[in-house]
Amino acid sequence: MKMKYYKTMMELQALQNFNNPSNNMTNPNFETNFQDLLKSFLGQTGSNPVTERATVSLASLPNMMINSSSQMSISPSIPSSINSGSGTIDEIISKASAKFGVDEKLIRAVIQQESGFKTTAKSHAGAMGLMQLMPATARSLGVDNPFDASQNVEGGTKYLKQMLSRYNGDVSLALAAYNAGPGNVDKYGGIPPFKETQNYVRKITSTYQV
């Protein structure tokens, strides 16, 4: 929230006191005056019950900044737990891992390689979401919205599990099938001689094994 320019002598004096720690320490009315000034800016009065929620203590002053334009900003404190979406994605990965018996580290490595954890990712070929599901593959896995993180990770993990089962737990072959299709893995009797697929398998296995 940004406040208007200070125009009165009282406001200027309050700012002087605020910027002078020695004044703050010797003036017992500093905090009270500062609170009253802030409340007047917020358009609140003593009879307004909201005033109680607007009380500012000296302990909260580190969260308040007065910039070079003599404007005041109040920056709310945001818990780190909601400052990033990684926690929610971690929960989705853990749930899919437990449901299908696929190592969480492998799921994360595939997501990192496929989309860089971008839920809205879409390739030129039409692959979508965190684990880059093709439309037909998504439908076969019961994924209605490939851009929904939960649906995408569950569908992608389910498909990865199918490939792991098909190739007896061989991670390299499962990844090759995930990238190039099981038909090509069967055709070449191993990782297909495609540069993209070979790099794909190499990058993910190196990340997964760290």
Residues identified as active-site: 114
Task: Return all residues near 33 (Cβ < 8 A) that are at least 6 apart.
Answer: 14, 17
* Residue at 83: amino acid letter: N
Three-state secondary structure call for residue 78: coil
What percent helix, strand, coil does the chain show, rounded to 5?
60, 5, 35
Sorted by sequence, the CB contacts under 8 Å of residue 145 that are 6+ apart come out as 151
Q: Which residues of 152-186 are buried (b: 16+ CB within 10 A; e: fewer)?
A: bbbbbbbbbbbbbeebeebbbbbbbbbbbbbebbe
Calculate ∠ Cα 179-133-161, nearest 5°.
Answer: 65
